[in-house]
Amino acid sequence: MEHIDVTIVLVAVATTCTIIMIGLGFLPHPGRAASIWSSGFALAMLSCYLLVAADQIGSHHLRGAAHGPILCAVAFVWIGLRARRGREPIMLLPTIVVFSAATVVLGLTAETLAYGTVFRVSFALAAATAGLAAWELLRLRKAEREMSLPLIVVACGFVGLAVLVAIDGLIRLADGTIGETEADLQDLYDLNEVVALLYLICALVTLLYLARRGAQTPEQQQTVEFFGVARDRLARAQVAGDRWWSLIDVRLDDAGELLDASSGRAFQRITARFAEDIRTVMPPEADIYAVSPTQVLVLLPRPDTAVRGLLSRLLDRIGTLTDQPAVPIRLSASIGVAAAPLADYDLDRLTAAAGEAAAHAQISGGDRWERAVFAP
C-alpha cells in the first residue's frame, strides 16, 4: 500500500506539472521547444497513470512497459533545449524510435530474467540525455543559467544514480546473479519514483521559465561574435580611410504599451515582424544584432545619402498597418545614426551615441530618425 501511495503522489505531481506547462508555457508562448517540453510532461503523466493501472490489475508486463514513456520524457528535455538553441537535427525522431522500442522490450521481458539488463540499459540511455541536457543548460546566458540550476543539479543527480545502477548491474554480473524480473526491482523503483518527483518539479521551474522567455535567436547567441566582427570591420575601415560606415540603433516605439495591449503570442508576432522588416530593408553586407526583441543594432557600410534612403524605407515599412488582429494599430520606430569617422571608429562610442540619438527620437514623438551629435 505504501508503494501505491508513492505512485499516486507521483501521478498528482506529474498531472499538475503537465497542466501548468501547457497552460502557462505552451499556450501563451507557443514554440517548438515549448511543444516538445509539454509533450515530455504529458509522457511522464501517461507513465504514472500506467504505473497505477499496473498496480491495480497486478500486471508485471504493463508495469515494465510503463517505465518507457517517463524515460523518454527525460530525453525530451534535451531535445527541447536543442530546438530552442536552433540546433539541427534536434534528434526527435531517433529518440522516439529508441524509447518506443525500449518500452516494448521492457513490457515483453517483464517476467523474464532479461528484464534487469534491459531496464538498466534504458535507464542509462535516459541518463545520458539528462547529462546532455545539463550541458545545454550550462551553455545558456548567465541569467538563464542561474534559473536553470535546479534542473542542472537534478540532471547531474540522475546521471549519478544511473552510474550506481550500472555498478550494481556489474556487481551482479560478476556474482552471476544478473538475471532479474520486473518484480525483483521493487526497491529500485521506490528510489526512482522519488528521483522522478524531484526531476519533474525542477524541470517545471526551469523549462517554464525558458518557454516564457521564448526561443534563443541566432543574434542573442552571438553577442560576442557581433561586437568582435564589428570592431574588426571598423579597424580595417579606419586603416583604409573608408568613411562610409555607420552604426544604426533601431527601437520599436511604445513597446511597453504594445505588450500590455496584446497577448504574449501576439507581441511575439509583432516583434518578429519588426525584426523581419529590418532584415528585409538592410543590404546583405550589413551586420545585424538584436539587443532585445524591440531593439536592433545595424553596422552599415553605406554613404550618407544611401543611409538616409534606407532609413526612410525602413520607417515606411515598419509603419505599414499591422495585420495582427489582436493589435490593430500602426507600428513605428525610432532610429539613431552614428557615423564611424566622428567617433574615431570606436564601437563603444558609436553604440552609446546611436543609443542616445534613438532615445531622443523616441522622446521627440517617435517614427523618425536622428543623427548622433558628438562633442568637439
- DSSP calls for 94-112: HHHHHHHHHHHHHHHTTTS
Contact call for residues 204 and 44 (beta carbons, < 8 A)? no
The answer to whether residues 232 and 287 belong to one domain is yes
Total domains in the chain come to 2
Question: Residue 133: which of 80, 200, 96 has the closest Cα?
Answer: 80
The answer to whether residues 251 and 208 belong to one domain is no
- Residue 243 in any domain: the answer is yes
The domain in which residue 102 lies consists of: 6-215
- Residue 50 in any domain: the answer is yes
- Residue 47 in any domain: the answer is yes
- Domain boundary among the residues 172, 194, 215 is at 215
The answer to whether residues 199 and 237 belong to one domain is no
- Residue 366 in any domain: the answer is yes
* pLDDT single digits (tens) 254-293: 888 877 776 666 777 888 888 889 999 999 889 999 888 8
The answer to whether residues 120 and 140 belong to one domain is yes
Contact call for residues 343 and 236 (beta carbons, < 8 A)? no
CATH number, domain of 261, equals 3.30.70.270
Give the distance from CA 347 to its chain's centroid. Answer: 30
So what's the pLDDT on residue 196?
A: 87
Question: Residue 314: which of 349, 351, 339, 283 has the closest Cα?
Answer: 283
So what's the pLDDT on residue 58?
A: 85
The answer to whether residues 315 and 357 belong to one domain is yes
The answer to whether residues 341 and 264 belong to one domain is yes
DSSP per residue over 178-235, as a string?
----GGGGHHHHHHHHHHHHHHHHHHHHHHHHHHHH-PPPHHHHTHHHHHHHHHHHHH
- Domain boundary among the residues 184, 215, 246 is at 215
The answer to whether residues 102 and 170 belong to one domain is yes
Q: 72 pLDDT exceeds 50?
A: yes
- Residue 1 in any domain: the answer is no
Q: Report how far residue 245's alpha carbon sits from residue 69's, in angstroms, rounded to the nearest whole number.
A: 56
Cell (9 digits) for 316: 515606411
So what's the pLDDT on residue 178?
A: 65
Range in 54-58, 251-255, 308-312, 324-328 with the lowest mean pLDDT: 324-328
- Domain boundary among the residues 215, 231, 265 is at 215
So what's the pLDDT on residue 262?
A: 66
Check whether the bond before 30 is cis (ω within 30° of 0).
Answer: no
The answer to whether residues 183 and 230 belong to one domain is no
- Residue 192 in any domain: the answer is yes
The answer to whether residues 95 and 176 belong to one domain is yes
Q: 3 pLDDT exceeds 60?
A: no
- Residue 376 in any domain: the answer is no
Higher pLDDT: 375 or 180? It is 180
Q: Quick one: average pLDDT of 313-329?
A: 71
Contact call for residues 165 and 188 (beta carbons, < 8 A)? yes
The answer to whether residues 126 and 21 belong to one domain is yes
The answer to whether residues 96 and 135 belong to one domain is yes
Helix/strand/coil for 89: coil
So what's the pLDDT on residue 108?
A: 92
Helix/strand/coil for 250: strand
The answer to whether residues 208 and 228 belong to one domain is no
Give pTM, 2 decimals: 0.59
- Residue 177 in any domain: the answer is yes
**Beta strands at 333-339 and 368-371: parallel, antiparallel or unpaired:** parallel
Share of the chain above pLDDT 90, in %: 48
Q: 337 pLDDT exceeds 80?
A: yes
* pLDDT single digits (tens) 99-151: 999 999 999 998 888 888 898 899 999 999 999 999 999 988 777 888 899 99
